[in-house]
Amino acid sequence: MASGMQLRTIARLCLADGTVFEGQSFGPLPTTVGEVVFTTGMTGYQEVLTDPSFRGQIVVMASPQIGNTGANTEDNEASTVHAAGLVVREGSDVASSHRASESLAGYLGRHNLTAISGVDTRKLVRHLRTHGSQNGAIGSAEPEALVEAARRARNMEGLDLVGEVSCREASVFDEPTPSEFRTLFAADAERPHVVAIDYGAKQNILRSLVDIGCRVTRVPASFSAAQVLAQNPDGVFLSNGPGDPAVLSYAIATTRELLGKKPVFGICLGHQILALAVGARTYKLKFGHRGLNQPVLNLESGRVEITSQNHGFAVDVASLPGSAHATYKHLNDGTSEGLSIPDANAFSVQFHPEAAPGPHDTLHLFSAFKQRMLRAS
């Protein structure tokens, strides 16, 4: 049992369009700015806060009560918090989980992350769905000052955030998923070498590659194709990450040069980079897909799979060249959720098959990547 009652002060979330939401502080309250987005997961807030793909974003939790399970030392997706702020309807000061080492409020304080509770998040989510994700500011200042701060904040379109979250040098990653949570197991002695290009990789994606028996080398996003190939990989993984994929000219060029040389697998931002590398286009969604309950249709099997997602940009399916074809589509809006480039032995998905927390419908994709590498070697 972990708890941590916090002194609450008046706080506001102000959007760039002038809309103001009142609440109370839930943790530290330095003024913060970022793109205001919402996620529909009922849990997984610790993974959300530490996911590098949320870099530069103020995250609204659509589920009304957040913090009941506290925070622990195992659920981080990175070594630090990447979200710019947190917005909740009701923040719990009490953590009633045997895994909790501290309350969520205590965790926020330790990471100096601005958070606000007492907000009508149902109204806020409806506003973002109607008017689109937009910049906002959280703080205790007067509304006029916070609105102005939101309007001055950098826009997500045209923004390269990968350099802020990528690793700085190549390193071996050999950490498996803790045994009590592991759902992928290596059933053979073959251990293909994967070079994972880190655009902001979640820990659980890299752990999943280790779980299926891969040797993993994590390399910076700035690595050229020659530097990647110098690692002598059996396959190349393109990770998730934040920001606008269209401005990542270095990543697109590297991926284009790697195609056909080694099997390639991309997730989330990696999916978008792969599409751009073959000449397709990307665009910004009105409010994105973020949550643990996103339904997609597997166009090859006809099976519906429930997925975990976190992205604000999408691939324009109509712009895919003849060398590529769609493999998944989102059942809510028909947007791109996967592609395959058979001649280059490359494929990608927009969602997160490691799905932690979440369902395990799409874990088969990791095994499919391993089989591609073994066949190509």
**Catalytic positions, please?**
268, 352, 354
127-147 b/e with 16+ CB inside 10 Å = b? bbeeeebbbbbbbebebeebb
Neighbours of 231 (CB within 10 A): 14
Q: Which string of DSSP letters, residue by residue, matches 20-79?
A: EEEEEESS----EEEEEEEE--SS-HHHHHH-GGGBTEEEEE-SSEE-TT-B-SS--SSS
Per the structure block, which two tokens stand in for 350? 């927009």
Q: Which two tokens stand for residue 179?
A: 């045994």
Nearest CA among 35, 150, 24, 148 for reference residue 88: 24
Instruction: Say if residues 95 and 67 touch (Cβ distance below 8 Å).
Output: yes
Residue 325 has φ and ψ, to the nearest 5°, of: -145, 155
Query: CA 86 to CA 99: how far, in whole Å?
Result: 22
Alpha helices in the chain (DSSP H): 45-50, 104-110, 121-131, 143-152, 162-165, 203-211, 225-229, 249-258, 269-277, 364-376
